[in-house]
Structure 1
């Protein structure tokens, strides 16, 4: 490994160390609640609780135990806290003046541009180093797959930083932007990526993480430019099209993987989990439908604004 690659790898190791501290804090705060929650769930739905537990126990990647924030209870608490802060925050802000979030937005968007660039570059570089193809890459449970697992784990926890998008909207009272699509996407993608990293943090997983990171370089770059009052608004409509293209490519990948690993290589030991490929396929349909509806409404709103200016 070259010096540049080694230095790059140390960045993700720093984030892992940081999140171990975060996880330790969560454990100290939530352990009694977690035990009570497990006891309640096991008594209310013993069969479901047992089956789900057995599924994740049998499907777990060997790398899951070496990465922080792999406890689903922590994921659930973070997700519920996000929803509570968003809807509770909207209620609190109803009778308050909006905050000037320009400086916070500046640092937030800059951080996510830099982080997305790092994730896209390191994931693609590691895929190249490991000899990955575009599609059809099986899960690697050997030590050789550890570095890619760390990079995709970082992509998973980066979804927590993206929650700040909504908090900024709440404090700016931009409630029109806090749509079902926005909240659903932030919540669901965080939980889904927990499952992906827990079960298969390398192999085919690399494609979605690298592609989404590339989209976010453009998206947060645009948000950064608007914060700096740089007039490049024409890019806005293309961001949604870029996102929809991304979803289409992921759906193509999921279809390819379902056919390849379910039928063509059904008996092979080197596979990517069918359950994750099927989950990706279904989730991409929801994303395409919601984003297409958003794009249509956004274009209609632009046309109405243009007509209003002419009158």
Structure 2
């Protein structure tokens, strides 16, 4: 028993030692335990504790918090993108024949510092799911959403701890660029229904993410083909994870936007042999609750106002559809 405990302690001690002692001294980088604890708390809250807590409560009004949060994410992503391009020699490594990488100690620390800020941004991103739960949008807590957030936290930590390299800079630049667009969209959406007319480009966000993964995959395959002096294990992991993301996001796009649809005279989508589903309702369910659901017509002799006297609008903070009296 003592022998097994000794082996276990040696393994744990080995995991605590990363590629650089300076990195090991940074927040959440001392060993796997802190980041694993963060991920476990996140999963427990969004999958169990949060939904149970909100079960008999009204959705929280987080409009102002979400506007500020998304604005911060836009600024943070711009800063990371700009800093990565300015401080790294990633373009020189891509254009060189064998992408040789020679860095000084100071340049290494600059690379590690940028990787830490990127890792910490993934911790901040976990608030996305938390807001879904507190607003009782549990249908948006999908496998794709939770897997994406979980794996990016763990991977970005492992990358910085054990095998930082130029491959990660390219991914950080591309991902930060996508996040600028994505969080700007969410910021505008959270500002209220009066800004809904500016959100016509919702569909293209998933397309942008897919393009990002294709570019990452192409870059990683190029790195492998050129025989770059970069960690091969890291390259293979990037390739494998990128393929998984391509499949998951591609499947989401196909199910959400590429279904055969036809519209009848009343503006309803006809699918699967005549079963109708409102177009806006479909978009609302699949793309995060930002659409507008028309109110069904009702003829009621006890009510002088028919539903045609009302126009629907959606509260983007709580995603509730409310009838608004026509003027």
TM-score after normalising by structure 2: 0.71
Question: Deviation at 1:203?
Answer: 2.1
Residues 127-136 or 168-177, more deviating: 127-136
Question: Deviation at 1:207?
Answer: 0.3
Q: Secondary structure at the match of 2:114?
A: helix
Of 208, 211, 220 in structure 2, the residue corresponding to residue 254 of structure 1 is 220
Of 32, 35, 38 in structure 2, the residue corresponding to residue 78 of structure 1 is 38
Any idea what the Cα deviations from partners look like across 1:11-57, whole Å, max 9, x if unmatched? xxxxxxxxxxxxxxxxxxxxxxxxxxxx99x64x947x856864774
Any idea what the Cα deviations from partners look like across 1:73-125, whole Å, max 9, x if unmatched? 10100000101111210122122111111111111101100100100011011
Question: Deviation at 1:146?
Answer: 1.6
Q: Secondary structure at the match of 1:235?
A: coil
> Whose Rg is larger?
2
8 Å contact from structure 2 (residues 165, 230) kept in 1: no
**Which residue matches 2:235?**
277
Question: Deviation at 1:140?
Answer: 3.9
**Which residue matches 2:199?**
233
Aligned residue runs from structure 1 range 72-111, under 5 A: 72-87=32-47, 88-111=49-72
8 Å contact from structure 1 (residues 247, 287) kept in 2: yes
Q: Secondary structure at the match of 1:204?
A: helix
Question: Deviation at 1:141?
Answer: 6.3
Give the root-mean-square deviation of aligned CA atoms: 3.0
| Stretches of structure 1 lacking an aligned partner (at least 5 in a row) | 1-38, 266-270
Q: Distance in 1 between matches of 2:12 and 2:216?
A: 26
Judged with a 3 Å threshold, the aligned counterparts in structure 2 of structure 1 residues 52 and 281 are, in CA distance, closer, same or farther, namely farther
Q: Secondary structure at the match of 2:207?
A: helix
**Which residue matches 2:143?**
180
Question: Deviation at 1:233?
Answer: 2.3
Question: Deviation at 1:60?
Answer: 1.7
Judged with a 3 Å threshold, the aligned counterparts in structure 2 of structure 1 residues 303 and 53 are, in CA distance, closer, same or farther, namely farther
8 Å contact from structure 2 (residues 63, 190) kept in 1: yes
Residues 101-110 or 301-310, more deviating: 301-310
| Stretches of structure 2 lacking an aligned partner (at least 5 in a row) | 270-276, 280-295, 297-327
Size of the alignment, in residue pairs? 261
Question: Deviation at 1:257?
Answer: 2.2
Of 152, 160, 184 in structure 2, the residue corresponding to residue 221 of structure 1 is 184
Judged with a 3 Å threshold, the aligned counterparts in structure 2 of structure 1 residues 205 and 56 are, in CA distance, closer, same or farther, namely farther
8 Å contact from structure 1 (residues 138, 204) kept in 2: no
Judged with a 3 Å threshold, the aligned counterparts in structure 2 of structure 1 residues 246 and 53 are, in CA distance, closer, same or farther, namely farther
TM-score after normalising by structure 1: 0.74
Decide which structure has greater strand share.
2
Decide which structure has greater helix share.
1
Question: Deviation at 1:128?
Answer: 5.1
Q: Distance in 2 between matches of 1:174 and 1:139?
A: 48
